[in-house]
């Protein structure tokens, strides 16, 4: 499971000076993001087949701080007209966590949003070239398998988005495997070409 954090502008839908609904964007499509050691783009349509049947709204991805849940109809998760992952939750003002989160958003103390997800194994992502990071330096996320949670968060490691240390390790392993595969293929082609020309010359 991976997580990404995004700087957003919250929407606070109020009634009688009371916030009735908090709306945020969990992921933006077709936007290249520099993660510090590779680039990533969530492609338009990546969420089309994603399992979003039971997504939990959490504060800081903490399962002990639940803000809402789609299966309980206290949260909504959907794809907006732009193709982005949008979500909302209805605050419960008898819950101290909800009161604290809403006030922190109103004050501007919480300005980031995040979502936790997995990618389809078959064709879910592709590594392509990047001008900045070279071969396999840009990851295209093409098919999200499941969205687990959406979350207002307080601490991003990068300006626009973040990758956890565990995610970074697994992604780097994936890149290394692809690079090794490419290098092996190039070595094979070079050796084959050498033998081919040696045969012709003889």
List Cβ neighbours of 104 (8 Å cut-off, separation of 6 or more).
110, 152, 154
> Domain residues of the chain, as ranges?
2-163, 164-202
Tell me which of 201 and 128 has the higher pLDDT: 128
Provide the whole-model pTM. 0.76
Tell me the C-alpha distance between 13 and 130, whole Å.
40
Q: How confident is the model at residue 167 (pLDDT cuts 50, 70, 90)?
A: low
Please write the tens of the pLDDT for every residue from 3-18.
888 888 899 999 888 9
HEC string for 118-154: EECCCCCEEEEEECCCEEEEEEEECCEEEEEEEEEEC
What are the angstrom distances between the C-alpha of 168 and each of 35, 49, 72, 97? 10, 25, 33, 30
């Amino acid at each position: 499971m991976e997580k990404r954090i995004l700087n957003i502008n919250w929407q606070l839908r109020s009634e009688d000076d009371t916030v009735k609904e908090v709306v945020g964007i969990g992921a933006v499509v077709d936007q290249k993001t520099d993660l510090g050691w590779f680039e990533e783009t969530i492609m338009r349509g990546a969420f089309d087949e994603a399992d979003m049947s039971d997504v939990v709204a959490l504060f800081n991805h903490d399962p002990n701080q639940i803000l809402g849940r789609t299966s309980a109809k206290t949260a909504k998760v959907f794809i907006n007209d732009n193709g982005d992952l949008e979500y909302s939750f209805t605050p419960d003002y008898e819950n101290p966590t909800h009161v604290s989160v809403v006030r922190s958003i109103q004050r501007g103390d919480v300005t980031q949003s995040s979502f936790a997800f997995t990618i389809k194994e078959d064709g879910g992502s592709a590594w392509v070239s990047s001008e900045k990071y070279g071969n396999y330096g840009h990851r295209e996320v093409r098919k999200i398998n499941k969205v687990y949670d959406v979350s207002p968060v307080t601490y991003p490691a990068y300006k626009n988005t973040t990758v956890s240390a565990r995610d970074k390790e697994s992604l780097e392993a994936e890149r290394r495997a692809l690079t090794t595969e490419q290098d092996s293929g190039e070595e094979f082609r070079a050796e084959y070409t050498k033998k081919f020309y040696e045969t012709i010359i003889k």
